[in-house]
Amino acid sequence: MYLPSWLSQLYRGLSRPIRRTTQPIWGSLSRSLVLSSQRRNPEFSSFVVRTNTCGELRSSHLGQEVTLCGWIQYRRQNTFLVLRDFHGLVQVIIPQDESAASVRKILCEAPMESVVQVSGTVISRPAGQENPKMPTGEIEIKVKTAELLNACKKLPFEIKDFMKKTEALRLQYRYLDLRSFQMQYNLRLRSQMVMKMRDYLCNLHGFVDIETPTLFKRTPGGAKEFLVPSREPGKFYSLPQSPQQFKQLLMVGGLDRYFQVARCYRDEGSRPDRQPEFTQIDIEMSFVDQTGIQSLIEGLLQYSWPNDKDPVVVPFPSMTFAEALATYGTDKPDTRFGMKIIDISDVFRNTEIGFLQDALSKPHGTVKAICIPEGAVSEVLKFFSTRNLFANFIRESKRPELIRLMETQEEDVVLLMAGEHNKACSLLGKLRLECADLLETRGVVLRDPTLFSFLWVVDFPLFLPKEENPRELESAHHPFTAPHPSDIHLLYTEPEKVRSQHYDLVLNGNEIGGGSIRIHNAELQRYILATLLKEDVKLLSHILQALDYGAPPHGGIALGLDRLICLVTGSPSIRDVIAFPKSFRGHDLMSNTPDSIPPEELKPYHIQVSWPTDSKAAKAH
């Protein structure tokens, strides 16, 4: 296995693919940090005692006196050891002559993962002993002096085993996990990509990076907001889910173009692959429309996209919410593969099959289907255990029409669903993804891992019926979203039919961003909040007032950075692109967080713990 220098690619961008891996592959990570005219090469050894990084040494360094600092990765027969730093690995020859006894002692006795500093000369490896799989494989270090900077105690496990261990162990010893190639790569790629985003927004397009408070007021319906007790009895701050109000107020304040890499908080209890604190690229602009924001974001992603991936092609395709639901059964379609939902209601208009008849007779009743290519070969049918059952019900005469509509081939499987339009689509959408998973476990490549398929989903409904009381409305996204210009008249007659100026950005079936043009008219905002949503307007009086005092038309978007980097790096979880993530239960397993607090430390905040008294409450946690 041979890998080009991941670090020079990250920082300067040769267009070579980096293999995704979850195994430490330090041996083959780095290549010469060739100077690029595009970008200065960072000085990795400025201000410190080392002269070079381990991973950067090449034949071009032959004869140089170098000082290196790193961890002992490997030692063989007390003749050489492999030294590792963030940049890569280098082979160090342990001197065998009597005069170097003290150096020899240090290098032979230091336990694995100890930190040492060595000085010596870069020499050629003896002919035939070069290691072409190792970027530094042509050279080795002839050591003159060595110093043990810190000895490593015996690890509670072999580092190699550790990498295969449970995620709980990785999180408990996060500082060891961070030494792995994959974590180093993920965190550095994240840093570089965010830096390029900042460059694009700040230097190319005049955006202002503005920090907004995280100690704020609870927002209406903000049941998922963490609370922070203040020193005033009964008064609390909330940790907001986004800087939504502040970004809009900045537009009212004439800042024109705002962005922030914003820390956000959401308390959703235990949820897999969610974090109680997360980061979004938060953007707001004045005098902009939906197209403007979309072009901005397309340019942003294109500009910041890692050089080791295929370039991003713009503009991104766009699809209405209605179309996404009808075709993919979801508002975040994975458009890397087909298996689209087809409406086959017409085939069965006069059917004698009871349940189809029944479904079609109801409001919004439909018959929908997806075709799973080679589903029969891939034994998808076994999963559904309905093989050959339903097909018999369909009259011979209907079959050609169905085959034509579905473009079915030999050995394909057609899954059919009858029922209310939205529900039927939604269920088929889920089946579509499950079938894709099934097919891929059978070796069919449906979703090319090197493909990044962006999609805008637009024209969402502005309101949705409340789940607990479908006769009342709630915002589909948030109450500041502007209605679609064509639908404004419906606000006063059939508000449930109003589309919004909200847009979602979807990547490979994941929502990675969402935004909208906002309401800038105070009267409209008041009507929607008070009359349609029946919210407590007092909690938002500052926003309504701000809109009254010369708010410009404005709109924005937020990109979920953790999810985006997770997809870019092909990581199985967002925890792999966060330095110190919480477990799915919201715990920091390294430090045992959250933790008990002595009662006297609660006193200044005028709170006390309500210990659950009955078993039911105790069981709930």
Angle (nearest 5°) at CA 142 between 139 and 143: 135
Q: Do 440 and 448 meet the contact criterion of CB atoms below 8 Å apart? A: no
Residue 246 or 328 having the CB closest to a second copy: 246
Nearest alpha carbon to residue 33 among 15, 58, 51, 64? 58
| Cα–Cα distance for residue pair 471/249, rounded to 1 Å | 32
Q: Do 120 and 106 meet the contact criterion of CB atoms below 8 Å apart? A: no
Residues numbered 91 to 150 that lie near a second copy (CB under 8 A) are: 113-115, 117, 149-150
Residue 98 or 614 having the CB closest to a second copy: 614
Least spacing, CB of residue 584 vs a second copy, in Å: 13
563's enclosing H/E stretch is helix 561-569
Note whether 188 binds a second copy by CB under 8 A: yes
Least spacing, CB of residue 247 vs a second copy, in Å: 10
The stretch among 184-192, 406-414, 417-425, 474-482 that binds a second copy (CB under 8 A) is 184-192
Residue 350 or 549 having the CB closest to a second copy: 549
Residue 204 or 389 having the CB closest to a second copy: 204
Nearest alpha carbon to residue 335 among 500, 448, 459? 448
Name the amino acid, one letter, at 147: E
Residues numbered 4 to 33 that lie near a second copy (CB under 8 A) are: 11
Residue 335 or 525 having the CB closest to a second copy: 525
Q: Do 237 and 551 meet the contact criterion of CB atoms below 8 Å apart? A: no
Least spacing, CB of residue 47 vs a second copy, in Å: 4
Residue where the block lists tokens 């202002």: 208
Least spacing, CB of residue 290 vs a second copy, in Å: 11
| Cα–Cα distance for residue pair 248/463, rounded to 1 Å | 21
Q: b/e per residue, 21-34, with b = 16+ CB within 10 A?
A: eeebbbbbbbbebe
Note whether 464 binds a second copy by CB under 8 A: no
Which residues are CB-contacts of 269 (< 8 A; sequence separation ≥ 6)?
Answer: 586
Residue 80 or 237 having the CB closest to a second copy: 237
Least spacing, CB of residue 113 vs a second copy, in Å: 4
Nearest alpha carbon to residue 555 among 299, 295, 283, 253? 283
Cβ-based burial of 262 (10 A; exposed 0-12, middle 13-18, buried ≥19): buried
The stretch among 281-289, 302-310, 344-352, 425-433 that binds a second copy (CB under 8 A) is 281-289
Note whether 249 binds a second copy by CB under 8 A: yes
Contact with a second copy (CB under 8 A): which of 18, 94, 118, 239? 239
Note whether 165 binds a second copy by CB under 8 A: no
Residue 147 or 379 having the CB closest to a second copy: 147
Residue 245 or 569 having the CB closest to a second copy: 245
**DSSP string across 75-116:** EETTTEEEEEETTEEEEEEPP-SGGGHHHHHHHHHSPTT-EE
Note whether 223 binds a second copy by CB under 8 A: yes
Least spacing, CB of residue 371 vs a second copy, in Å: 41
Least spacing, CB of residue 74 vs a second copy, in Å: 14
Site string for a second copy, 532-571 (x = CB under 8 A): ----------x---xxxxxxxx------------------
Note whether 209 binds a second copy by CB under 8 A: yes
Q: Do 80 and 126 meet the contact criterion of CB atoms below 8 Å apart? A: no
Note whether 221 binds a second copy by CB under 8 A: no
Residues numbered 283 to 322 that lie near a second copy (CB under 8 A) are: 285-289, 292-293, 295-296
Least spacing, CB of residue 133 vs a second copy, in Å: 22
Residue 129 or 291 having the CB closest to a second copy: 291
Q: Inter-axis angle of helices 541-548 and 244-252, to 10 degrees?
A: 20
Q: Do 162 and 173 meet the contact criterion of CB atoms below 8 Å apart? A: yes
For residue 192 the two structure tokens come to 């570089």
Residues numbered 466 to 505 that lie near a second copy (CB under 8 A) are: none
